[in-house]
């Protein structure tokens, strides 16, 4: 389930953040990213556990993911070739299907109504952060493919990544505060006691590698992009993406272990 959620959220996040990339990045850039997102979704389906479709919400999520996958494949086949007039509709379909899948996945992963809202916000911010980090890293690398590409495009996607980082920090902070103040005896494990136990090492690793690390690295990337050093910015983004991946995998594990969507 951890890999299923992580791979699905990464694929959806890539589709979300491609909307913010200029067409000047070139047809090959969009084909590469949509193809990679489609392959990630295939891998997610391969790791899909039986319980992922055990209820109505799970079936809706899988159906939405199937529509998401089909729209990505259609976009990959048509970008730069045919169906230019309906391509925005294809992109819109993938974004909407991805959003529906995130909501449907969040519902069975949480308990009562407030927890469901927190889980939905967590899933959206997770996908946004993963997609922003991955797309920024690949766009930085794309300056080796198109050396004449304006550096302003990298600066723009780094801004998107920094916004996604800020949103993720706010959501995780709200989730932690809610989990601590809303706990009552008999309603599950005490989260504040968990984070200070031996098992809580995963929680602190999640904060260090998944939030603190990317926050610093995204700022360094922005400062490097401002002085037009695309190669240095790309190198930092590789490390940044690795820390985001580690943090979000741990976040999925903690959700399953504690029912808290950090």
Q: What is the pLDDT of residues 11-62, one digit of tens each?
A: 999 999 999 998 899 889 999 999 999 999 999 999 998 888 778 888 999 9
Interior CA angle at 251 toward 199 and 238, to 5°?
120
Closest C-alpha among 122, 107, 2, 115 to residue 57: 107
Q: Please, which pLDDT band fits residue 142 given cuts at 50, 70 and 90?
A: very high
What is the structure's pLDDT at 189? Answer: 62
Cα(192)–Cα(85) distance, rounded to whole angstroms?
A: 53
- The pLDDT mean for the chain works out to 90
How far is Cα 222 from Cα 233, in angstroms, rounded to an integer? 8
- For range 125-138, the mean pLDDT: 96
Domain boundaries along the sequence of the chain = 2-258
Distance CA 44, CA 105 (A): 13
Residues 79 and 30 sit within 8 Å (Cβ to Cβ)? yes
208 pLDDT above the threshold of 90: yes
Per-residue DSSP letter, 51:
G
Closest to 75 measured CA to CA, from 133, 128, 67: 67
**Higher pLDDT residue, 87 or 250?**
250
pLDDT at 108: 80
Decide: helix, strand or coil at residue 55.
coil
pLDDT for the residue 131: 96
Listed residue (108, 152, 146, 122) closest to 30, CA to CA: 146
Between the alpha carbon of residue 212 and those of residues 8, 247, 260, the distances in Å are 24, 10, 19
Q: What angle do CA 69, 70, 73 make, to 5 degrees?
A: 85
Which two tokens mark 65? 């993911």
The pLDDT score that the predictor gives to residue 86 is 82
Specify whether the backbone of 185 is left (phi greater than 0), alpha (psi in -120 to 50) or beta: beta
Q: What confidence tier does 175 reach under pLDDT thresholds 50, 70, 90?
A: very high
Predicted confidence (pLDDT) at residue 188 exceeds the cutoff of 70: no
**pLDDT tens readout for residues 232-261:** 999 999 999 999 999 999 999 999 888 888
**Contact by Cβ (8 Å): 25, 149:** yes
What is the model's pLDDT at position 185?
55
Portion of the chain with pLDDT greater than 90, in percent: 67
Query: Is residue 110's pLDDT more than 80?
Result: no
What are the structure tokens assigned to 58, written together?
């799970």
Distances (CA, A) of 48 to 2, 10, 43, 52, 260: 9, 15, 9, 7, 21
Is a pLDDT exceeding 90 seen at residue 73? Answer: yes
The model's confidence at residue 186, banded by pLDDT at 50, 70 and 90, is low
pLDDT of residue 111: 64
Cα 159 from Cα 151, distance rounded (Å): 13
pTM: 0.93
d(CA 176, CA 12) in angstroms, rounded, equals: 24
Query: At 159, is the pLDDT very low, low, confident or very high (cuts 50, 70, 90)?
Result: very high
What burial class does residue 214 get, using C-beta atoms within 10 Å of its C-beta: 0-12 exposed, 13-18 middle, 19+ buried? Answer: buried
Q: φ, ψ for residue 259 (rounded to 5)?
A: 65, 20
Alpha-carbon span 34 to 93, nearest angstrom: 13
pLDDT at 242: 96
């Amino acid at each position: 389930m951890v890999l299923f959620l992580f791979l699905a959220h990464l694929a959806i996040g890539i589709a979300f953040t491609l909307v913010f990339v200029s067409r000047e990045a070139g047809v090959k850039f969009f084909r590469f990213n949509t193809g990679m997102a489609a392959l990630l979704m295939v891998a997610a389906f391969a790791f899909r556990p039986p319980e992922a479709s055990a209820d109505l919400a799970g079936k809706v999520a899988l159906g939405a993911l199937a529509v998401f996958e089909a729209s990505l494949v259609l976009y990959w086949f048509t970008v730069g070739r045919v169906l230019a007039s309906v391509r925005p509709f294809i992109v819109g379909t993938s974004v909407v299907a991805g959003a529906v899948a995130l909501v449907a996945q969040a519902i069975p992963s949480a308990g009562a109504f407030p927890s469901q809202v927190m889980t939905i916000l967590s899933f959206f911010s997770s996908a946004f952060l993963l997609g922003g980090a991955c797309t920024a890293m690949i766009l930085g690398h794309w300056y080796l493919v198109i050396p004449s590409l304006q550096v302003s495009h990298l600066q723009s996607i780094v801004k998107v990544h920094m916004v996604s980082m800020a949103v993720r920090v706010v959501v995780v902070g709200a989730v932690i505060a809610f989990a601590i103040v809303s706990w009552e005896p008999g309603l599950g494990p005490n989260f504040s006691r968990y984070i200070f136990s031996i098992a809580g090492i995963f929680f602190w690793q999640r904060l260090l590698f998944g939030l603190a690390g990317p926050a610093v690295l995204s700022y360094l990337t922005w400062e490097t992009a401002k002085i037009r050093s695309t190669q240095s910015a790309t190198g930092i983004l590789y490390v940044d993406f690795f820390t985001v991946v580690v943090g979000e995998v741990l976040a999925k594990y903690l959700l399953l272990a504690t029912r808290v969507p950090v």
